[in-house]
Amino acid sequence: MKSVLLLTLLVLLGGCINKPPFKDEFESDKTWTEQMTQLPAYPDARHLMKFDAGAVTSNQYLVDTSSINIGEDGVIRFTLAIKSSSGVMNITYEGIRCETNERKLYALGRDDKTWAQPRLSEWQRLDYVRQFYAQRELAKNFFCPHRQIVSNADEAVHALKAGKHPSIFP
């Protein structure tokens, strides 16, 4: 009886030793690498498309549709324009990583229609910073429906025109 138990135990242990760990079977454990980002042309008012960022603010939110770029690294990059009720326009070039629900600021627009490097340019969780109304709305309802990045810039523009990504509609 002892020899049968010992033999069974050895067979079970041998099976465990020879098999690779379960997690190695998936690609999700690969290290993510952010690609180099090239700044787009400064936005032209003809390409700015308004979207609803919710009733939290009286600001007007717009995306430069010509700047939308889906990177091979799974980041959607775009120019965001925020126009205050007094007419002041703030322009930024940003990226959203749908998989992790994060946002990164790449550049700030200047009055002379050039880009400036921000003091802080790191990935930030969208749910942790209250002021990211527009970015949260873009991620949730336009660019990252169900945390899946849109397949191309045309799909993103279509979602902006429709008021939400088609997969969000009931």
List of domains in the chain: 45-168 (2.40.128)
Per-residue pLDDT for 31 more than 50?
yes
Q: Which residue has tokens 């949260």?
A: 136
- pLDDT for 135 equals 95
Q: Would you say residue 167 has pLDDT above 60?
A: yes
CA-wise closest residue to 67 among 31, 86, 39, 35? 39
Please state, in angstroms and as integers, the Cα–Cα distance from residue 32 to each residue in 3, 65, 74, 97, 139, following that order: 49, 27, 9, 11, 19
pLDDT of residue 30: 73
Per-residue model confidence (pLDDT) at position 165: 83
Mean model confidence pLDDT for the chain = 85
| Statement: residue 153 has pLDDT above 90 | yes
- The amino acid that residue 154 corresponds to is D
Compute φ and ψ for 30, nearest 5 degrees: -70, 145
Would the pTM of this model clear 0.85, i.e. be above it? no
* Percent of the chain's residues with pLDDT above 70: 81
